[in-house]
Amino acid sequence: ERVGSSATRRVNVRVLAATNADVNAEAAAGRFRQDLLFRLNTIEIHIPPLRDRKEDVDLLAHHFLHGYAQRYRKNISGFDPAAIKALHEHAWPGNVRELDHAVERGVLLSPGPSVRAADLGLRAQAAGGPAKLEEMSLDEVERYLIQRTLSRHEGNVSQAAKALGLSRSAMYRRLQKHGLE
């Protein structure tokens, strides 16, 4: 029934839900409603974490790379050998989302046609946390900020410049400085 209505309406829906918790154990412990589990658990698909599927790292990384290269209008075609090695050696505690963000960062920070290992920022992540702003050079931060702002404003330089508090001419100078024209 709709809120405020007394008429019952039939609907046909499918629910797709994901969790990293053991829902059966949670239901047994009383932290998840068993009746809801029985209604939702028609088909269960277990997808192992990325660290257990190292063979998927290349495919996913290249998929993300092509999407971000297009989104940020960058002429980047792949990863250099050191970046591939770093991608393979990383433990991926953040799973596919962490890989996605590392590749996005790599595309944004890469000055050339291929993403370098340093562009991915995986050293700091492997040490136990996300890459910190303090670990980036001022040029890297500026370049990253400009690219994110341009993306947010769909490539409109005037709007991006305004959002960054820059004149259009100052924005164009920075775009040229970072090779982003």
Domains of the chain: 139-181 (1.10.10.60)
d(CA 58, CA 134): 29
Rg, the chain, Cα only: 22
Q: Is pLDDT above 90 for 83?
A: yes
pTM for the model stands at 0.58
Beta strands in 38-166 (DSSP E): 78-79, 114-115
Nearest to 114 by CA among 150, 69, 180, 176: 69
Q: At what angle do helices 81-89 and 95-109 cross, to 10 degrees?
A: 160
- Return the pLDDT at 108: 92
- Return the pLDDT at 132: 57
The dihedrals phi and psi of 35, each to the nearest 5 degrees, come to -65, -35
> pLDDT > 70: what percent of the chain?
92
d(CA 81, CA 86): 9
d(CA 136, CA 142): 10
Q: Is pLDDT above 90 for 105?
A: yes
Over range 78-88, report the average pLDDT.
94
- Which residue's structure tokens are 């990863």? 79
> At a CB cut-off of 8 Å and minimum separation 6, what does 134 contact?
none
Q: Minimum mean pLDDT among 35-39, 59-63, 95-99, 132-136: which range?
A: 132-136
- Return the pLDDT at 39: 86
- Return the pLDDT at 129: 41
d(CA 147, CA 139): 12
Over range 42-64, report the average pLDDT.
91
Over range 119-138, report the average pLDDT.
62
- Return the pLDDT at 61: 97
